[in-house]
Amino acid sequence: MNDRKTIRIALTKGRLEKDTVGLFEKIGYDVSQLRDKGRRLILEIPGADIEVVLAKAADVITYVEHGVCDMGVVGKDTIDEHGGRFFEVCDLGFGRCRFALAGQKGFDFYKGCGVKTIATKYPNVTRRFFEAKGMDVDIVKIEGSVELAPLLSLSDGIVDIVETGTTLKENGLEVYEDVSPISARVIVNPVSMKLKKTAIENLIAEMEKNI
């Protein structure tokens, strides 16, 4: 458990990190260390009693679950896939995209009653989506560029993140059905929420006010 009075918040490296740093700047925090971080992974916001940790999305959840970080900013995609014991307290509105079922353009995905094969980086999200439909599918886990799977006939479709739709379009694929919306969320360790209640609630309020 991170038991100092400072709030330690883990940010998902990359775009969500940039958007969160922008939000911190809007709040009025000194983000100079965060803007000029080099290869450092733990940074401070001087004068605000906030320490920022930069991590990969799934690791943000791990650090918050273990209480070594009090809070985290992570995409709903990672939350939906990994789950975990934490409070999801706020939707930051940025990092907006969606999970969608997609595949070869013009293919009638729901036609016929054979078991379909779905390639995805998100097997849990995919399983729940088809379970809710009462539809049996085979799921193949792929690590990246999932769009290749239907093109190479490994799968009938994919469940993947769609943001602009450009990757699908440029590869002759199309969305068959939206699965669920995604955006950046703030998560909080339940013990930190009790022990650092006021400081955490104040930070969340500042973030919500400046979204």
The residues that touch ligand PRP, with contacts defined as CB under 6 A, are 144-147, 160-167
Strand pairing partners for 8? 51
Using the minimum distance from each CB to ligand PRP, give the nearer residue, 3 or 163: 163
How far apart are alpha carbons 168 and 26 in whole angstroms? 35
> DSSP character for 88?
E
Using the minimum distance from each CB to ligand PRP, give the nearer residue, 24 or 99: 99
Question: What is the closest distance, in whole angstroms, from the C-beta atom of residue 160 to ligand PRP in the complex?
Answer: 5
Using the minimum distance from each CB to ligand PRP, give the nearer residue, 182 or 188: 182
Question: What is the closest distance, in whole angstroms, from the C-beta atom of residue 167 to ligand PRP in the complex?
Answer: 3
How far apart are alpha carbons 27 and 48 in whole angstroms? 11
Distances (CA, A) of 185 to 32, 127, 166: 24, 22, 25
Question: What is the closest distance, in whole angstroms, from the C-beta atom of residue 144 to ligand PRP in the complex?
Answer: 3
- Closest chain position to ligand PRP (CB): 144
Using the minimum distance from each CB to ligand PRP, give the nearer residue, 112 or 144: 144
Using the minimum distance from each CB to ligand PRP, give the nearer residue, 45 or 179: 179
Question: What is the closest distance, in whole angstroms, from the C-beta atom of residue 97 to ligand PRP in the complex?
Answer: 7
Question: What is the closest distance, in whole angstroms, from the C-beta atom of residue 138 to ligand PRP in the complex?
Answer: 20
Task: Please give the radius of gyration of the chain, using alpha carbons only, rounded to the nearest integer.
Answer: 20
- What is the SS3 assignment for 84? coil
> How many Cα atoms occupy the beta-carbon half-sphere of 111 within 13 Å?
4
